[in-house]
Structure 1
Amino acid sequence: MAMRDSATASGTPSSLARSRPRHGEAIIKAVLLLAALVSVATTIGIVVSLVEPTIGFFAQISVVEFFTSTEWGPLFEPPSYGVLPLVSATLITTGIAVLVAVPLGLAAAVYLSEYADPRVRKFCKPALEVLAGIPTVVFGFFALSFVTPLLRGILPFEIEIFNALSAGLVVGFMIIPIVASLSEDAMSAVPAGLREGSYALGASKMVTSLRVVLPAAFSGIVAAVILAISRGAGETMIVYMAGGGQPNFTLDIGKAMQTMAAFIAQAGSGDVPVGTVDYNTIFAVGSLLFVMTLVMNFVSARLVRKFREVYE
């Protein structure tokens, strides 16, 4: 009786009181903490590996030239170190990819979340996610051997064999599963009560999907889109194979371009002596790409916090 009174006084029922330490739970917490620390340590390691060569690069090359010049040819003679052609090519191909992936991905997410039969959803969503597992070199070969000849046959303007349009389109198809899967998860998490309330007011399924579900899942959709943009900006093999290796500072999407990731792949696979300024260009461009991705993720986190919906 005294033990029962003590348990009741402490606010914990005697039947729920912990009788012995749970070592398994402690092990699981330790493993989860280790996984989190590994992720943080990996990011720190990447930053550390980029900082020293980047500082060495800017000790020899002007920051003003790097960010304002439109000529990029560190391996040419005389060398030029203007990164704008690489940045513009990265933004153009990523922009084309986003124009492809976001409408198609959101349409697929709306269908899977609001319209598809559970049996259809169970089949279609894994099939869609398989697209994300295809090696990017296969996408690159597909862009070069199928998409580019198709575009050259149907478009009224000149399309070179290597071009930004083909690369951007195929990168867009590659990141569709990211937008579709994550957006569908965010829409499925919207409480059914919101849908039922909309139907009770006489709204159709389309109106409910576009006016109720999409705004309620906006924070998750934004996170999905930003993640897809980051993935598209860092894509290497597709733009390396289909976009060409010419750092042209142009807005003509029918011409060959070289993105930042494609330059890193090209220069890293060459015979550039380690420690030279030409070798350090890899790290300078990598640092800039890392900062651009970090800024996009920061903007995404701010938007998610601002528009996050909390449901009981």
Structure 2
Amino acid sequence: MKAIVTGAAGFIGFATTRELLRQGFEVVGVDNLNHYYSVELKKARLENIGDTSAFRFVKADISDKEQLELAIGSEKNVDVIVHLAAQAGVRYSIENPSAYVSANVEGEVRVFEQALKYSSCPPVVYASSSSVYGGNRKVPFSEDDRVDDPVSVYAATKRAGELLARSYHHVHKLKTTGLRFFTVYGPWGRPDMAPWLFTDAILEERPIKLFNYGKMQRDFTYIDDIVDGVVTVTKKIMKEPEKVADIYNLGNNKPVPLMEFVEAIEQATGKKALTELCPMPPADVKKTYADISRAERDLEYHPTMSINEGIVKFVNWFKRYQGK
């Protein structure tokens, strides 16, 4: 079984690649190693995959047609593409919207076009986001809810990716499944996300910013639970594509108030947080909450990691990685 994984040096891409390899896949990883956050962290993830003949990494920008063709155009017998490459980060999309259109819209089109060029026309599992639910007030968020009220450029590009997937299925019969991830955290996570930012600040006794004056909730989902869903969809879309839906929520189904999240980090670090209450940024939402009933039904998806256990695992890894 051969999988192409885009974004293989990213947080979810790295963890997914490692699990696919563990389950006997041959994996070709693609990533442009951009400077949105530490390239050294991305390289460290790739090194942590291990020395295996079943993995080949190639540096390429998925939004560049020639680079992508050169990187993976000659691959044979591709069974599936797991498209996890993206320009991440909600707030950064206010500063640099063109980066999101390039990676998340143009890049996805390039990946779909590349899939069509293979004689096997492999199915594509791609990353979407809980951000597509935007200003929706009904919770938990269901895949059947309307998603036409994005509150950030990031969310709009992720929704555009979903619509493009439907178009490619309608016109070209390309089988695709999108995964709406809900606030993924854990070891090897991103430095721009709250677990990293808060843990680093608390250990260094710097204040942390609590947006909306601390009155926020997130459906924090541990990386291993997310990867379980990604790999299950990947294997099922290869064998039984007709039994896989076009969109799934992958979340924990347990929203955590921001102050409880901070308390979990305080307990894991043994230090008290210094806090600064701030208003809500314009691209944020107050609450995310995943309805995972569809994933439970089709994928037997059952996340198990509690926020307290998950944060302990993250903090222990963070201390080792940072030498603290």
* Bigger CA radius of gyration: 1
Greater relative CO, 1 or 2 (CA 8 Å, sep 6+): 1
Q: Which has the higher helix share?
A: 1
Structure 1-normalised TM-score?
0.24
Q: Which has the higher strand share?
A: 2
Structure 2-normalised TM-score?
0.24
